[in-house]
A = this chain, B = another copy of it.
Amino acid sequence: MALIVQKYGGSSVADPEKIQGVARRVVETAEQGHRVVVVVSAMGKTTDQLVGLAQAITPSPDARELDMLLATGEQVSSALLAMALQARGRAARSFTGHQVGILTDAAHTRARIQRIETEKIARALEAGEIAVVAGFQGVTAEDDITTLGRGGSDLTAVALAGALGAEVCEIYTDVDGVYTADPGIVPEARKLGRISYEEMMEMASLGAKVLQARSVEFAKKHGVPVHVRSSFKPDPGTLVTREDPGMEDAVVTAVTHDRSEAKVSILRVPDRPGIAAQIFGTVAEQGIVVDMIVQNISRDGYTDISFTLPRGDRARAVGVLEEVARRIEAAGVTYEDRIAKVSMVGVGMRSHSGVAARMFATLAKEGINILMISTSEIKISCVIEDKYTELAVRALHEAFGLGKERGGGE
C-alpha cells in the first residue's frame, strides 16, 4: 500500500463538475489500495479575481493582507473536493496550510517552506481518510497566513510528498506530460517517458510551463519522484526523477522556447571592476529578476553588457539604467522587446561535444541571426528575433532527431 500525493491545478478544479471528475480520479487511486493526499489549487480564475478585488481597493496592497485574501481560493477548492469525495462514500478531510502546519518564513507572497508538520495528515490517513490540502499556502511562527508564490501548489505537493515519504508526487495538469518541444509548434514533438530533475529544472527556467523550477529543485533535494500527467486522460505522463544510465544515451532531450522576455543592452560601458555590480545592483533594487547576462570582451577599455528580463519589467529597468549609464559614462541604453529565447536541454551534453556548433549551424542554415548566447552544463540558449521562433524550434527539433524514440526513453 503506497502513499501517493496528487496535485490538481486550477483548470482541473475550475467548476463543480470538474471537481467531481477529480474526486472520481482520487477515489480510483484509493480503491487501488493506496493512501492518498491531494493538494489543490484555487478554482480556475479565482486567484486573478481576488487580485482584482485587492486592486480595486488599492494599487499596492499590503503583502500580508494579500496572502490572507489569496489563501481563501485554495481553502474553497479543498473543502469542495473533500465534500465530493465524501459524496462518493470516502472519508475525507480538508486542511488549510495553517491546519497542516506548513511553516514558512514571513516573506509574504513568496514565502519559503521551513518545516512541515506531518502529524495531522498522518492521523487522517491512519483513520482511513483522504487528506485534501489547500495548496500554495503556509503559516508563519506568528500564525500569519503566507503564500508560496507562482507555482506554489506544486511546491506544497512536492514538499508534502517529501515530508511524508510518499512513493510518488503526481502533478495533474492540462498537458499530459513533458514534450521534446511545444506540440503546438512541432507536430512531431514526442512525450518524454522520463526526464532528470536537472533537465526539468532547466526546462522550467527556459519557458516550459509545466512545472516550476523551484518545485523540481525541492523534489531533487528530497528525492521525490514527480509524475507530470493529464487530469483528463488516464495515460501515464512524464516521470521526473534522478538521472539513470539509460538517459545518457540521448545528447539532447528537448528544445524549449520562451517569448516572455525582452533584451536590454548598456553600450560602451567603461570596463572597470564594480561596474557590473553597480548596474545589476540597481536592477535588483527594483525587484526585477534578470535572466541571461552576456558581457562581450572588452575593446579599448569599453564593453557592452546585455541581459534579458521579463518583458513587463523592461520599461522600469530602462528607466533606472539610463540614470546609471550617465553616472558610469556609458554610451547609452538600448532595448528590444520582440525577442525569443530558444534552448536545447540535455544531460548528455556533459559528455558530448558539438551540440553548440550543431545548434548554431542549424539556425544559420535557416538564416536566423543569433543575438545572445548563454550556456550551462546541460543547456544552450540563443536569443533570436521573435518572428523566427517557430522556424527555429522546428529546425532544431528536426536537426537533433528529437521526434525519434531515444534509447533510454519510454
B-chain residues with CB within 8 Å of residue A229 when the two chains form the complex: none
Indicate which residue in B20, B65, B99, B143 contacts A82 across the interface (CB closer than 8 Å).
Answer: B65
Smallest CB-CB separation from A55: which chain B residue? Answer: B16
B68 pairs with A53, CB closer than 8 A: no
State whether B68 touches A143 (Cβ < 8 A): no
Determine the chain B residues whose CB is within 8 A of the CB of A99 once the complex forms.
143-145
Task: Tell whether, in the assembled complex, residue A57 and residue B20 are in contact, meaning their CB atoms are under 8 Å apart.
Answer: yes
| CB neighbours of A96 from chain B (8 A) | 68, 145
Are A68 and B94 in contact, CB atoms less than 8 angstroms apart? yes
Residue in chain B with minimal CB distance to A64 = B93
Known: A72-B75, A99-B143. A80 touches B54 (CB 8 A): yes
Residues of B within 8 A of A76 (CB): 50, 53, 69, 72
Contact segment of A83-91, A204-212, A352-360: A83-91
In the complex, which residues 38-67 of chain A have their Cβ closer than 8 Å to any Cβ of chain B?
50, 53-54, 56-58, 61-62, 64-66
Number of interface residues of A (CB under 8 A): 37
Chain A 82-112, CB-CB to B under 8 Å as 1, else 0, gives 1110110000011010110000000000000
A79 at the interface (CB under 8 A from B): yes
Q: Which residues of B contact A75 (CB under 8 A)?
A: 68-69, 71-72, 75
**Beta-carbon contact of B57 and A68 below 8 Å:** no
Whether the pair B66, A79 counts as a contact (CB closer than 8 A) is yes
A94 touches B79 (CB 8 A): no
Residues of B within 8 A of A79 (CB): 54, 65-66, 68-69
One of B19, B66, B83 near A61 (C-beta < 8 A):
B83
- Which residues of the other chain, B, contact A83 by a CB distance below 8 angstroms? 54, 57-58, 61-62, 65-66, 69
Contacts of A196 in B (CB 8 A): none
CA A71 to CA B20, docked complex, whole Å:
22
Q: How far is the CA of A410 from the CA of B301 in the complex (A)?
A: 86
- How many angstroms from the CA of A120 to the CA of B142 in the assembled complex? 10
State the CA gap A145–B98 with chains docked (Å). 11
Cα distance A54–B96 in the bound complex, in angstroms = 18
Residues of B within 8 A of A66 (CB): 79, 83
Q: Is the CB–CB distance between A84 and B64 below 8 Å? A: no
Q: CA–CA, A75 to B144, complex, Å? A: 13
Measured between beta carbons, the chain B residues less than 8 angstroms from A68 are 75, 78-79, 82, 94, 96
Which residues of A approach B to under 8 Å, CB–CB?
A: 16, 19-20, 50, 53-54, 56-58, 61-62, 64-66, 68-69, 71-72, 75-76, 78-80, 82-84, 86-87, 93-94, 96, 98-99, 120, 143-145
Query: Could you list 10 A-B pairs, sorted by A, with CB under 8 Å?
Result: A16-B57, A53-B76, A58-B84, A58-B86, A64-B93, A68-B94, A69-B83, A75-B75, A99-B145, A120-B143
